[in-house]
Every structure is written in structure tokens, then in C-alpha cells.
Amino acid sequence: MYQTKHAYETLGEKQIKDLFPKPDYSHINSLIVIGDPIKVSFDDIDIDDETGNIARFDAGIDPAHVHALKTSFAAALLITEELPALSEKNHPAPKKYILKYGFGRVHALMELGLDGWFFNVIKKKKSEDSEELVDLSQSEWEDVSLYENEPVPKKHNKEQNIIDTAIKKIGRGDLDNTETCIFDHLKKIFPNRPKPSLNRIKEAVMEASNTKQKHTYYTESKIKLWMKDHSSEDYVFNGDYDEKRKMYGFSCKHGTLNRTFISALKKFDETGHKSYVVMHFGEVSGNSSMAQKRVLGISEYVSIRKSFKKMYGNDIEFLTLLGAFPQITDVEDKKKLVKLNIPKI
């Protein structure tokens, strides 16, 4: 399995040729010639999704589609997918090529910080007896682009298919019945599947296989249940006012603390009352323990505090990191928040 950025930086001409499949548009015109994949800088390509994407009448880039592609590329490179296509411009620089299809992929790769990618240059023979290559007509490019957008006629995995298979593997002893092993197995086999889907699959497999849950993961509803069934103290977590502490209360997942800081700043500006936040953390993997994740959460909090201090000249603690929700099963007390050691700002 190749990582996208590493592949772009390291793969040679022969590797690129062997790895990526070539499309076949001979049914559109038997004279069409697909060039071997080449590495091209985005600076050398005219990329105009408003007018260049001739097969799409709803011109422009769909941000949700680009985000989904970005997530997929960030996870791993699918070498079974065909490459974006270029035509060679018939007039001088500055741009040597025109992007004909693959606009979403190119935008996603740009957002990942790449400065180029691999492409097929598509041309056609001038005639049956000629070896001279020319550009496709506008009509041919429209047909090629439309055909390229057609989905492969195969039946995609439903989540239940994956759940049933994983349960069978556990039953046979081919997969260890632990939360970490189940989730790592799913990520390995389906690196491009969105994480919410992987989590749903994991939870269903664990429930059906009576897997002992090593960690607890929180949602808004899970936080409410923790408050109702376990917590020895009362808190508020939706930006409401906590009469006991005379503060506003928030909860947030690691990685989203910036939004909570802004909400707390607005509360402080409007009312003069400070706020607190309780954090929770995402899935533990072999490369990242809960302790490591919490260290990153503390670093996130301290970094934002330092930014505010630098901006305003002094450190106003209008948002206190009260602690973390208990997440390590059979180790941490379910009734109490986990204390986090916050260094002096």
C-alpha cells in the first residue's frame, strides 16, 4: 500500500507505468492513443474547473467531494484507479497542458500539499495510416470525459457484509477478539473507507462477538448517559451556565478545541463569566495510546492559550481545561473526571 505523497516523491517512470492502469476509449474512437503515465507539476497545467470540465454542466468543484477525495488520498493511494487526463496545448507557454478530467482529484491533491501528480496525456492518430498524433475534438473529449465518470459496474460492500465477515473471522480464531485488533484489521483492509463507517462496523462486531471494550468513546448522547449513570458531580456541557461553579460549561473532542475557545471568549466578553471544558479523545491504535492522545490534547490547550497571550499581552484564563472524561475501561474511575497536568503558561 502506497502513501500518496511518498509515491509522488519517490516513484520512477517505470514504476508509474507498471502501477497505474490505462483507460480504454477505443469504443469512442479506435484512433485514440493513451500515453504512458508521466509526472507533471501543477504549474504546467491549465486547471479551469469552471469551463474546462466539459462533461459537467454543473461546472465547478464540489467541496464535499473534494474533502472525501482528500480523506481517501490521505489514508492511502489506490493504484487500481485510473489517472487524471491532460491534453497538450497547441499554443505556447506558460502552460504546457490542459486538464481534461480529474478536477476533484487534482484539487484534493493540492490541499494535501502536493505540487504535482501523475497524468495520462491523451491524443489520437491523425488517420489510420498515420503515426502523427493530434488532439481530440471537442466532441470526443466530451464523450471521453462522460465515459470516465461512469461507475464501474460492481456491487460495493455494505457495512453488514464486512461485519458478518469479521464476526466469522473472530469465531474461527483468525482475528483476535479485542477492540484494538478489530479496528486495526478494519483500517488495514479498508484504508479508504470513512472513519465513521469503520467505527459503526467495529461497534457492531464487538457487540455481536461480546468483545471486552478496552476504551470508552464519547458522543453527545454518551456524555449525557455518563452524567446520568456514573458522574459523582454535576456538570454542564452545552455552553450552558453552571450555577455551582459560576462558569459556562463545554465538552469537546481533541482537535476541535479552537471552536470552544472562541465560544468561551464570546461568553466572557458578553457576561464577564469564565468557562470550563472537559475533553475526550478518539480511537486508540497501536501507534497512539490514550495517554499519548491526552498529552496532545494538553499541548493543544496550552498552544491556544499561548496564542491568546501573545495577541493580548497577558494570559487571561477565560477557558479552564477541567479534565478528561474517563475512557480507559477497568482502570479509571467512571464516576470522576481524569485530571490533566496543565503546565504553567
Residue corresponding to grid cell 473532542: 253
Residue 316 makes CB contacts below 8 A (sequence gap 6+) with: 268, 308
Residue 263 near residue 239, CB atoms below 8 Å: yes
Provide the residue-wise pLDDT of the chain in tens; the chain has 345 residues: 688 999 999 998 889 988 898 999 998 899 999 999 999 999 999 988 665 555 554 455 678 888 888 888 888 887 777 899 999 987 667 889 999 999 989 999 999 999 999 999 999 999 999 999 999 988 888 888 878 877 666 666 788 888 988 999 999 898 999 888 898 888 888 877 888 888 889 989 998 999 988 888 898 888 999 999 999 999 999 999 999 999 999 999 999 999 999 999 999 999 999 999 999 998 887 678 899 999 999 999 999 999 988 887 888 899 999 999 999 988 999 999 999 999 887
Confidence (pTM): 0.53
One-letter amino acid at 52 equals: G
* Spatial distance between the Cα atoms of 342 and 328, rounded to a whole number of angstroms: 20
Torsion of CA 169, 170, 174, 175, to 10 degrees: 110
Based on its alpha-carbon atoms, the radius of gyration of the chain, rounded to whole angstroms, reads: 27
Cis peptide before 63 (omega within 30 of 0): no
What contacts 24+ positions apart, CB below 8 Å, involve 2-6? Answer: 2/76, 2/77, 2/79, 3/76, 3/77, 4/73, 4/74, 4/76, 4/77, 4/109, 4/112, 4/114, 5/112, 5/113, 5/114
* Spatial distance between the Cα atoms of 345 and 343, rounded to a whole number of angstroms: 6
One-letter amino acid at 238 equals: N
* Spatial distance between the Cα atoms of 18 and 292, rounded to a whole number of angstroms: 40
Domains of the chain plus CATH, in order, are 4-148 (3.90.1530.10), 159-208 (no CATH), 220-324 (no CATH)
Relative orientation angle of helices 179-189 and 195-208, to the nearest 10 degrees: 140
Residue 302 near residue 342, CB atoms below 8 Å: yes
The backbone region for 57, taken as left when phi is positive above 0, alpha when psi lies in -120 to 50, beta otherwise, is alpha
* C-alpha cell belonging to residue 265: 471568549
